[in-house]
Structure 1
């Protein structure tokens, strides 16, 4: 179990990761995700963002790996487990739907 200081730190680092991802600073976003995982190894938001980053770099297998970890994380919201289409897409390698980075405005 993590304490409130760690929770605040994780939240702050995740915000930075998403800010950097959103502004196209992919390397920095990835570094922040790794910092989060050093504190809380199964943090689903960091894993999900790493999946998006891996997909951005064309590392599809790695992207699927991170997204699977995010879904099965003990910290994942239960709604992640309620989406059978997402699970099917992650498990299917035929005619896979694209897993794309966040849409930038």
Structure 2
């Protein structure tokens, strides 16, 4: 009986921590602005639309890219984690946000 109670408490604490550390959209926009400019635009073979997008945002500072990407990004909040999707002129990104971190998939 004691192990069930301990397990339930551990599960509850984990769920609360996951809910509290679920990153918001602004954190994702900051992360994706760096990722798009520094990683996605550095790939050699990009679709035509992505090449145009990269040539548009490459000279801009990261702070100027964030409002642009905000309009092309969507968040699905599942309380314990969030799924983020960005489709900016052929530059596509899907990430899961959990524990204040983002993992691309």
Same fold (TM over 0.5): no
Higher relative contact order (CA 8 A, sep 6+): 2
With normalisation by structure 2, the TM-score equals 0.30
Name the larger-Rg structure: 2
With normalisation by structure 1, the TM-score equals 0.30
Higher percent of residues as helix: 1
